[in-house]
Amino acid sequence: MEKVSIDDLDNDPRVAAVQKHATASLSLGDMAMNYYELEPGDSFSGGLHTHMNQEEVFYVIEGTATFETMDGAVEVGADEVVRFAPGEYQEGKNESNGSVRALAMGAPQDAGETRSALPCEECGADYHTAVVDESGVTLECPDCEAVVEM
């Protein structure tokens, strides 16, 4: 058994003011888990994206998160859960005046290729592939290899 307090996790604010990764602390092998606190205007991810090999589930603990999808927006309130299949584009954000607290879970842990729905200005490709490393996120066109710094 593994147990951890959200308060004891290190904050890694990549896109939200509070973003805490529980995956390593819980020794998760088959899924990823993150805790978020979103202030008005904050996003879970920073853009419309999909994971080609990973389904994502968001449990909203407090507030209302709005998920933009290719089919329109979906609001998810407190004590509600939403699932996105591998290959399904989404961006969750806080469009309300209050705060949002939520858990994000993904399985399998390795998300595989992550795609951003940002079209390439150079060649017109429909998406960019996200490359995440210590320096942050870079988007690369799969066709012409043009790079977009985030």
pLDDT tens digit sequence for 40-90: 999 999 889 999 999 999 999 999 999 999 999 999 999 999 999 999 999
Q: What is the pTM of this model?
A: 0.91
Task: Give the per-residue pLDDT at 25.
Answer: 95
Q: Please give the Cα distance from 93 to 144 (Å, whole number).
A: 30
Average pLDDT value for the chain? 93
Q: Please give the Cα distance from 59 to 80 (Å, whole number).
A: 6
Structure-token match 């089919």, residue found: 71
pLDDT tens digit sequence for 86-136: 999 999 999 999 999 999 999 999 998 999 999 999 999 999 998 877 777
Burial of 60 (C-beta count, 10 Å sphere; 0-12/13-18/19+): buried
Give the pair of three-digit tokens for residue 82.
């939403």
Residue 14 pLDDT grade (very low, low, confident, very high; cuts 50, 70, 90): confident
Which residue from 126, 127, 128, 77 is spatially nearest to 102, judged by alpha carbons?
77
Residue 51 bridge partners (DSSP): 114
Give the CA angle between residues 100, 106, 112 to the nearest 5°: 130
